[in-house]
Amino acid sequence: MSAPRKYPQELRDRAVRLYFDSEPRPVIRQLAIQLGIHPEALRNWIRQAEADAGHRSDQATTAETEELRRLRKENAELKRANEILKAASAFFASELDPTRRRS
């Protein structure tokens, strides 16, 4: 489970929309101070919005990031299951070994 977000999603959406709708484009730092948020947070939100809109190719979209997170989690679960199956296979193979001494 991830940590709670410091800023609500509504504030994020409003800040990004305000940045893109303003003419001329405001300085990110000034807009962030007006909204009471950290400038780097706003800069990251704007970059992510640009990536989601297809204007940036140097950053993964939100959908790609979520899919990558899901696939990594699934991969970890499959690795754990594989280790359990290997251990069970080794255990049962040793039980069926006719050359093994029984006590």
**Which tens digits make up the pLDDT trace of 50-79?**
999 999 888 999 999 999 999 999 999 999
Could you tell me the pTM of the whole model? 0.67
Average pLDDT of the residues of the chain: 91
The torsion angles phi and psi of 83, rounded to 5 degrees, stand at: -65, -40
- Say yes or no: 66 and 47 in one domain: no
Kindly state whether residues 99 and 74 are assigned to the same domain. Answer: yes
DSSP-derived 3-state class of residue 25 = coil
Q: Give the CATH number, domain containing residue 23.
A: 1.10.10.10
Q: Based on the domain organization, do 54 and 77 belong to the same domain?
A: no
- Which residue range(s) make up the domain with 19? 1-59
**Could you tell me if 50 and 70 lie in one domain?**
no
Whether residue 73 is found in the same domain as residue 51: no
Per the structure, how many domains does the chain have?
2
> Distance between CA atoms of 48 and 24, rounded to whole angstroms?
21
